[in-house]
Structure 1
Amino acid sequence: MARSKSQPTLVEVTENDVPRRRNRINFFELAYQRIEEMLVTCALQPGRFLTMQDLQDMTGFGRTPVHHAVNRLAADTLIVIRPRHGLQIAPIDLARERVLLRLRRDIERFVIRLAAERSGPSHRNQMLHMERLLRDKRDSLTLAEFNTLDRRIDQMILAAAGEPFLEHTLRPLHTLFRRIGFIHHSYMAGDARLDGTIDCHIAVLNAVANRHVERAVEASDTLIAFVDGMFDVMETRIDPSLLDCSVEPLLGA
């Protein structure tokens, strides 16, 4: 009797393969979040030149996650890749970013409307909890603490809106204006208090959580107008070296 041909061996995927893939994705996201945070707080100064290795050393992540993060941030126009010269943290152009604020206003109107219309009980519960947290800690929040909560608020609104495409559109805009807020509150004398921006966020959360669509859109416009007011101050009072570190700082700054 002829021997039967052996059956082809199936490649078995074990459970151990799944965490490795998930961990790799987490490293990509964590590297992005870490670099984005350093951009917002100007630990990576606008205008600064550096290398991929510099970012690896600063973040503690390996080449692949950092490379992945840099490509995303370059697409977001936050980092400039200069062939044969390394990387540059994009200088801040106040005139350009003020134009982009108008774009954010229009997109936010659409997102806020969707969030107010589509939010489910879980979304609304999270927003009301965040609203209470902001009210309770209104007078004691540090800028770093507020920025952490601000990221979560952005995520809540986008989750309630239920359209994944919007996250990729708004993410770089949120980063740009979170950095503007950081510079404004950190370096503009007399403008360190956060109660104005906190009150704007409370109004947005309350309106969306209660599904008051038009009031939510109005609250969003008020928040954008608050940010626009920061530009009025910064355009006349900001030290230019804070917007581009290659510029010589002003005497006495």
Structure 2
Amino acid sequence: MHQAAVQSSIPTGESLAELAYRQIEEMIVTLKLEPGAIINERALTDITGMGRTPVREAVQKLAWEGLMEIRPRSGIAIAALNPQDFRKVLDTREGVERVLARDAALYGADLHHRRLQQASDAMSAAQEGNNVGSFLAADKTFDTVLGQAAENPFAARLASPLQTHSRRFWFRLQRPGSLQESAGAHRALIEAIIDRDEQRAADEATRLIDHLRSMAP
């Protein structure tokens, strides 16, 4: 795939580096890039169809988020996945998630509400079709819009890698009914934000984290 072809498919405002990041992140979350595996930059450019510069920028961001480890002269290691760490991620995530939910309910604009409703509808469709990939994509969109609606870039930057780690653990630990339960918890949170109910939004964020904790070993 040539870069020119990729460029035409990029949403407005999204750079090649951001598109490369999304593609590689999705492969890490869904374990297409296996935990502990060693890969090199050339392989990532082949997989994504991107040039070296956007891939390198994506790898640097993923390394900062703890999803990759750059090992000079030996390659790029995909982070190990220890299910016992899921609770640690969730314990760290809960406080900032409450802040984001509360502030999104307080400051979110109509545009954010429309995009949140679209994410909710996409989760419902994923649930009906039992489509895990579509659910994870909708969850990523939700997390992005949540950070924008909250108008708190500090909380959003803190939450983003934790949310990605959570999706990866969720994919690894899912069981029958997980998709339905997770979609329901997200829809309840989205509804509270759109209703501009700050306290309910914060409480629904806690309920979402509690649901995820129920999946942890």
When residues 87 and 24 of structure 1 are mapped into structure 2, their CA distance, relative to the original with a 3 A threshold, is: farther
Q: Which of 106, 121, 130 is the aligned partner of 2:95?
A: 106
Deviation at 1:157, TM superposition (A): 1.2
Residue 3 (structure 2) aligns with: none
Deviation at 1:203, TM superposition (A): 0.5
What are the ranges of 5 or more consecutive residues in structure 1 without an aligned counterpart? 1-18, 233-253
**Counterpart of 1:95 in structure 2: which amino acid?**
Q
User: Runs in 1 of length 4+ with deviation above 3 angstroms?
Assistant: 128-138
**Counterpart of 2:210 in structure 1: which amino acid?**
A
| Partner Cα separation in structure 2 for residue 83 and residue 161 of structure 1 | 38
Deviation at 1:202, TM superposition (A): 0.7
| Partner Cα separation in structure 2 for residue 209 and residue 139 of structure 1 | 23
When residues 133 and 85 of structure 1 are mapped into structure 2, their CA distance, relative to the original with a 3 A threshold, is: closer
Residue 192 (structure 2) aligns with: 207
3-state SS of paired residue (2:128): coil
Percentage of identical aligned residues: 32
When residues 24 and 88 of structure 1 are mapped into structure 2, their CA distance, relative to the original with a 3 A threshold, is: farther
When residues 159 and 222 of structure 1 are mapped into structure 2, their CA distance, relative to the original with a 3 A threshold, is: same
3-state SS of paired residue (1:87): strand
Deviation at 1:193, TM superposition (A): 4.8
Deviation at 1:133, TM superposition (A): 5.0
User: If each structure's helix is expressed as a fraction of its own residues, which one has the higher value?
Assistant: 2
Say whether residues 1:119 and 2:97 are aligned partners: no
- Shifted more, 125-134 versus 152-161: the winner is 125-134
| Partner Cα separation in structure 2 for residue 204 and residue 137 of structure 1 | 17
Deviations 1:60-79 (A, max 9, x none): 11111111111111111110
- TM-score of the superposed pair, with normalisation by structure 1: 0.75
Deviation at 1:35, TM superposition (A): 0.5
- Shifted more, 82-91 versus 124-133: the winner is 124-133
Q: Which of 16, 20, 27 is the aligned partner of 1:27?
A: 16
Deviation at 1:154, TM superposition (A): 1.1
Residue 143 (structure 1) aligns with: 132
When residues 67 and 200 of structure 1 are mapped into structure 2, their CA distance, relative to the original with a 3 A threshold, is: same
Structure with the greater alpha carbon radius of gyration: 1
Residue 79 (structure 1) aligns with: 68
3-state SS of paired residue (1:91): coil
- TM-score of the superposed pair, with normalisation by structure 2: 0.87
Deviation at 1:34, TM superposition (A): 0.8
Matched-pair contact (CA < 8 Å) for 2:120–2:190: yes
Aligned pair count reads: 208
Q: Which of 178, 181, 195 is the aligned partner of 2:167?
A: 178
What are the ranges of 5 or more consecutive residues in structure 2 without an aligned counterpart? 1-6
| Partner Cα separation in structure 2 for residue 73 and residue 135 of structure 1 | 29
| Partner Cα separation in structure 2 for residue 61 and residue 69 of structure 1 | 11
Instruction: Give the superposed CA RMSD.
Output: 2.3
